[in-house]
């Protein structure tokens, strides 16, 4: 009788240890997945910013007032901002899915995107880019309030109408 009880207790202990082991394995796999996601977004962000900073046209356009930009400049800047926004969107989705911590955007350098309302080119491009973004991106970029694009109608922006509209 005592042997049977001992075997049952031993069996229960083995089951409990197995469950704990599986839990630890799942936790470790989640940490590995989070690390891989973080690394992928970090590398993609770094590669984008390095490519943009090494492009003479881009660095010139970033320092040029909107009125001095040509149509080709607007298209190029639209593509560059769209790429940056897509990376932000992927990052925020991973935060939303709890794959990355809540402060991942700030830790990867996306906090400057909260101040885009001060960039005159982005102010004009945002109404064209905004409709194709997620609610999380819109909330992130517009955290301090809607971006006022008054005065941007004169610029040759990509989009159906050819100009930014509110």
Q: Report pLDDT digits (tens) over 111-135.
A: 877 777 778 888 888 998 999 899 9
Distance CA 8, CA 4 (A): 6
Number of domains in the chain: 1
Are the beta carbons of 152 and 164 closer than 8 angstroms? yes
Residue 75, burial from CB neighbour count under 10 angstroms (0-12, 13-18, 19+): middle
Say if 92 falls within a structural domain. Answer: yes
φ, ψ of residue 103 in degrees (nearest 5) = -95, 15
φ, ψ of residue 45 in degrees (nearest 5) = -65, -45
Q: The pTM is what?
A: 0.69
Which of 64, 60, 74 is closest to 152 using CA atoms? Answer: 74
Say if 146 falls within a structural domain. Answer: no
Say if 147 falls within a structural domain. Answer: no
Say if 156 falls within a structural domain. Answer: no
| Percent of the chain residues past pLDDT 90, beyond the cut | 7
Q: Report pLDDT digits (tens) over 7-47.
A: 888 888 889 888 888 888 888 887 787 778 777 877 887 78
Range of the domain at 39: 2-141
8-state DSSP, 130: G
């Amino acid at each position: 009788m005592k042997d049977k009880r001992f075997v049952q207790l031993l069996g229960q202990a083995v089951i409990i240890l197995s469950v704990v082991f599986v839990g630890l394995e799942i936790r470790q796999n989640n940490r590995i997945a989070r690390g891989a996601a973080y690394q992928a977004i970090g590398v993609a962000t770094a590669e984008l910013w390095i490519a943009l900073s090494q492009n003479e046209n881009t660095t010139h356009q970033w320092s040029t007032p909107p009125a001095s930009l040509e149509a080709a400049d607007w298209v190029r800047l639209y593509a560059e901002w769209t790429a940056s926004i897509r990376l932000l969107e992927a990052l925020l989705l991973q935060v939303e899915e709890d794959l990355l911590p809540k402060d991942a955007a700030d830790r990867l350098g996306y906090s400057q995107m909260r101040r885009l309302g001060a960039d005159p080119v982005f102010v004009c491009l945002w109404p064209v880019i905004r409709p194709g973004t997620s609610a999380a991106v819109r909330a992130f970029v517009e955290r301090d309030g809607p971006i006022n694009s008054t005065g941007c109608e004169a610029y040759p922006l990509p989009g159906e109408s050819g100009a930014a509209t509110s």
